[in-house]
Structure 1
Amino acid sequence: MSLILSRRSALGLMAGSLVAACSGAAQAASKLFVGDQRGGSRVVLQGAKRLDNVPYEIIWSQFPNAAPLLEALNAGAIDSGIGGDSAFIFAAGTDAKIKAIGAQAARGMGPVVLVRRDSPIRSLADLAGHKVATPRGSVSHNHVLAVLEAYHQPYDAVTFAFLSPSDGRAALQSGAVDAWAIWDPNAAMAEQEGARILPGKQDLVSGYALMFGREGAIADKRPLLQDYHDRLYAGWAWAAQNRDAYVDLMHKDTGLALDILRITQARADRFPARVDAALIAQQQETADRYFRAGVIDRKLDVRPLFDTSFS
C-alpha cells in the first residue's frame, strides 16, 4: 500500500512540476525582452503611441551602446534590440546567434573624427601616425578604416585606443589620444567643448541602425517579434515626420541639451528602410573590410545574418 501511495505521490509531484513548467513557459512566451539605449526605441514608440494596447508585456533593459546590447542578445538575456550595422557585423564575426530583422537608414552626416582645437592635424588625410580613440567594431571604427583605405594608407597607419564613447571623450580632452572617432550627439557635444571635426573624404560607410532578433526568439516568439517590428517601424516613421516633437521627447529621456539634439537632427535624417539585397551588399563591404584589417579573423558571408521575412 505504501508503495502505491508513493507512486501516486510521485505522479502528483511530476504533474505539478509539469503544470508549473508549462505555466512558466507560457508566461515567458507572453513577454518580449527588449534592449534599448537612451533616446532609442522606447521614445519613438511612445511618440507614435505604439505602446498602447500591446497584447504582450515588454520588459525593457537599458544599454549604453550597441556592443553590450549585442552581447546580451547573444547570451539570451534579451530577445530584441537595436544597434549600429558595423557593430553587428563585428559581433557576427565572433559567432553571435543573432539576426537583423529590420533597419533604419540615415542620410546626412555620419560618423566623424574630432581633434582638439589646437591639434596640428588638419584633415583626415593627416591621421597617419596618430592615436585614435573609438569603440571597437563600431561604425566609427569602420569609418576610420575606410578613411585609411580612401587615402591609400595601411590599416596600422593609426594606433587605435578602443574606448567607450564616454571614455573616448575624456581621452580626447586630456590629450591621451590625438583624435576621437565617434557619432552624434557625442560629436556635437565635443564641438561645443572646443573640438574640431576633421574635413576630408566622408560618407564612406553605411549608417544603418538595425533591429535585431535573437535566433531563439525568432523561433519561439515570432508573432511577438513581428508585432514589435511593425510597431517600431511606425515609431521610426513618426520620428521622421515629427522632428520637433521627437527632439522634445529625446530631451526628456536623455537629459541632453535641446541645442545639441537640434544640431544632431539638422545634420542627419533617419527613416525606416527595408532589409533587402542592397542593404545586405553594403554590410558585406563592412565584413570584407573588417577581415582585411584583421578586425574579424575569417571571411564572412553576411547573407545568413539577415532575415528579410519580417518586412
Structure 2
Amino acid sequence: MATPFVLSRRSALGVLAGSLVAESARAETGAGEGADLGGVTLRVAYYKGGWRPLLQAAGEDKTPYKIEWKELNNGVLHIEALNGDALDVGSGSEIPAMFAARQNAKVRFIAVTHEDLNIQVTVAAKDAPIHSIADLKGKRVGYVRATTAHYFLAKQLEEAGLAFSDIEAINLTPSDGYSAFASGKLDAWAIYGYNGQLAIAKQGARLLKTGVGYLSGNFPIYANPKAVDDPLRHAAVSDLLLRIQRAYAFANKNFPLYAAAQVAETHLPLQDILDQFARRSDDFSLAGVTPDVPDTHQKVADTFLKLGVLDARAEVGQFWDTSFNDAIAAGAARLVRS
C-alpha cells in the first residue's frame, strides 16, 4: 500500500485560501447546482483536436451557457489570456503554471487532467551510437526550453549520473526540432506530442525513454479568479469540468469517434492517432486537487530553479483552488456507478 501524501501546513493554507473566498461569495448568493446559466458566457481556450471536438464526439457540447472557444495551442498563451482577463478557462502543463506562480499572475489552478505520458519521449537518431540516456554525454540533444521536455530530460540525465552541462543541449521549437532531427543535425531529441511519434514512424528514431516515471501526469486546468469567484460562472465552470470528465470516459471506450473528430480539426492521419491511443500510458481522466497535486507541482518548480530557468523559488501552492473538488468527486462516483 502506498504511503499517502501529506500537505505541509503552508501548502495546505495556500491551496485552501482561494477556495474559501470563492465559497463565501457563492454562499451569499446561493448560486450552484440548478442555477439559471442562460446569461453566462464562458471564454474557453482549447488546443486543436482537444476539448472542443472531444465534447462534440461525446455529445456533451449542448451546454446551458454559451461557450466562446478560443484556439490557443500553447499553455503560456492560456496563462497570458487569463491574466489579462481575456479568458475564463484554459489548460496546459505544470510548467506555464509554475511561471504564472512566480510572476504572481491572476490565475488559479482548479483541477487536473491525466493524459498520455508515452507521447513525451527522448529518442535517438537511427544511426547514432546511442542506446541509453547515459550515451547522451557529449551528444547534440534537442529539447524545448521551459517545457515538459526540458523537465523530463533533466530528470533522465540526473538518473543516469549526468548534468545538463554534460550534453550539447540545443533549444529548438518543436517544428524546428523536427527539421533538425530529420536532417541529421541532432543526435537525440526530447520532445512531446505528435512530433515525437512522427520522428519514430518517419525518421526511424529509437525510443530511449518516455515521460512515464518522470512527469507527474498532472496537467492543470487554469481558471480566471473572477470566474471562480463569481457564483454563476463558477457553476458554469463546474458544469464544464463534469462534461469534460464524462467526455474523457466516453473517449476511453469509444476512441475511434473522438479520433475522427480530431482528424476533422487537425488533419492528422487517423491511423497515427489510433496507434498513439493504443500505446497510451493510461486512460484519460479529469480529477480534483488532491494533496499530492501542489506538492508534485512544487517539485517541478524547484527543479527549474535548480536548472536556472527560474530566478527565484515559485510558491505554487497558493494558486491551487479546491472549490470544485466536491463536484468532480461526485461526477467520478456517478461514472463508476454507470
TM over 0.5: yes
What residue is the counterpart of 2:289 in the other structure?
Answer: 275
What residue is the counterpart of 1:59 in the other structure?
Answer: 68
What residue is the counterpart of 2:219 in the other structure?
Answer: 209
Contact 2:123 2:208 (8 Å CA) reproduced: no
Consecutive aligned runs of 4 or more in structure 1 exceeding 4 Å deviation: none
Aligned: 1:307 with 2:321: yes
Aligned: 1:263 with 2:275: yes
Q: 1:1-311 maps to which residues of 2 (within 5 A)? A: 30-52=40-62, 54-106=63-115, 109-200=118-209, 203-220=213-230, 221-268=233-280, 269-311=283-325
Task: Note the C-alpha offset of 1:108.
Answer: 5.5
Task: Note the C-alpha offset of 1:143.
Answer: 0.5
Task: Note the C-alpha offset of 1:147.
Answer: 0.9
Partners of 1:170 and 1:207 lie apart in 2 by: 28
Partners of 1:124 and 1:44 lie apart in 2 by: 36
Shift of the 114–244 alpha-carbon distance from structure 1 to 2, 3 Å rule, reads same
Shift of the 267–70 alpha-carbon distance from structure 1 to 2, 3 Å rule, reads farther
Shift of the 135–93 alpha-carbon distance from structure 1 to 2, 3 Å rule, reads farther
Contact 2:123 2:209 (8 Å CA) reproduced: no
Q: Which protein shows a greater Rg?
A: 1
Contact 1:74 1:96 (8 Å CA) reproduced: yes
What residue is the counterpart of 2:32 in the other structure?
Answer: none
In the alignment, structure 2 segments of 5+ residues that lack a partner are: 1-38, 326-338
Render the CA deviation track for 1:75-113: whole Å, top value 9, x for unaligned.
322111121223322443333322211211136625111
What residue is the counterpart of 1:25 in the other structure?
Answer: none
Partners of 1:288 and 1:178 lie apart in 2 by: 29
In the alignment, structure 1 segments of 5+ residues that lack a partner are: 1-28
* TM-score normalised by the chain length of structure 2: 0.76
The structure with higher relative contact order (CA 8 Å, sep 6+) is: 2
Aligned length in residues:
282
Contact 2:125 2:206 (8 Å CA) reproduced: no
Contact 1:104 1:236 (8 Å CA) reproduced: no
Shift of the 190–107 alpha-carbon distance from structure 1 to 2, 3 Å rule, reads closer
Contact 1:103 1:274 (8 Å CA) reproduced: yes
Contact 2:288 2:324 (8 Å CA) reproduced: no
Shift of the 100–46 alpha-carbon distance from structure 1 to 2, 3 Å rule, reads same
Contact 1:108 1:267 (8 Å CA) reproduced: no
Contact 1:188 1:263 (8 Å CA) reproduced: no
Which amino acid in 2 is paired with 1:287?
A
